[in-house]
Amino acid sequence: MNDLSKQQLILLALLVSFVTSLATGIVTVSLMDQAPDGTTRTVSQVIERTIEQMSPGTTAGAGNAAAVAVTEDPSTAAAAIERSLVRFVSGASDDVSGLGVVMNSGGVILTDKSVIAGLTGYTAILSDGSRLPVVTVRSQDNGDVVFLAPARGAAILPATTPAHIGDLPALAEHVYSLSGTSTLVLGEGIVTVQVSTSSSLISTDIPSDKVLAGSPLFDIHGHLIGLATSALEGKNGAEFYPISLLAGVIPDSK
């Protein structure tokens, strides 16, 4: 042994290790062949569970990833908001002045005051293209938002789904907007200023040309969190009025 070089000693150690491992494997297989069925199944289960815990790409992990992918999808969130979106016109006109959002099953619609300022005979075009005559039921005191509801004898159609109000967004949270007078336009950005319960706006980096008065702001879950008004025109991106500040004043119906 003393005559062996360092390299030869390493090779010898590897050879001994290999022979030992081979012998151990042969003994293990022989013992497994002679073991009762119950013991064999138990050992196999232990090996399988150990592999599952050590392997990050298991079936359970893939299932969770798929669930996240389904729920965190901007197109799915936009589809949820679209069902509550309305466009405002005068009577039988097709000239859209702005947007609004259906807030409850009574057909109450939230929009910006400027959207209906120049209209006569307010008409809301619903997501399925049908027209609904509406009247003003409440305006925000010293504010920019207004609530409308179906005119007497009119009723909101089943195809329309009221928006779900979400929480105030966090700083740098991804948010989205919908606009467009005929074709929907999706805006995407992040919240650029910390929002608090006393805040009067939600600042984003969504380009201002991606929103109209009454455009909804929503989160990745399709929850309504803001409304674009003509009074909020951010220099570095669109700004929105927080819907959570209105949650307690939304009328049930007309």
One domain, residues 113 and 170:
no
Residue 156 covered by a domain: no
- Judge residue 165's burial from the number of C-beta atoms within 10 Å of its C-beta, 0-12 exposed, 13-18 middle, 19 or more buried: middle
- Say if 225 falls within a structural domain: yes
Any domain includes 32: yes
Rounded to whole angstroms, the Cα distance separating 141 from 148 reads 15
Beta bridge partners of 224: 165, 218
Q: What is the pLDDT of residue 24?
A: 60
In this structure, are 234 and 172 located in the same domain?
yes
Q: What averages of pLDDT result for each successive group of 10 residues across the chain (254 residues)?
A: 65 70 56 51 46 45 39 87 95 93 93 92 92 90 85 77 93 96 94 80 92 96 94 81 86 72
Q: Which domain holds residue 20?
A: 6-55
Q: How far apart are CA 101 and CA 88, in angstroms?
A: 11
Q: Tell me phi and psi for residue 63, to 5 degrees.
A: -65, -45
Task: Indicate which CATH number applies to the domain containing 229.
Answer: 2.40.10.10
Length of the chain: 254
pLDDT on residue 55: 46
Domain edge (last residue) among 117, 150, 183: 150
Contact of 160 with 150, CB cutoff 8 Å: no
Does residue 66 lie within any of the structural domains? no
- The answer as to whether 96 is a domain residue is yes
Q: Are residues 233 and 196 in the same domain?
A: yes
Q: How many domains does the chain have?
A: 3
Structure confidence at residue 67 (pLDDT)? 38
Q: 177: Cβ–Cβ under 8 A, 6 or more apart, which residues? A: 186, 187, 188, 204, 206, 210, 211, 215, 216, 217, 218, 228, 238, 240
Pair 229, 205 in one domain: yes
Per DSSP, 152 falls in state: T
DSSP string, 61-90: HHHHHHHHHHHS-HHHHHHHHHTTEEEEEE
Per-residue pLDDT at 80: 93
Residue 140 sits in the same domain as residue 169:
no
* Nearest Cα residue to 152 out of 137, 130, 138: 137
pLDDT at site 116: 94
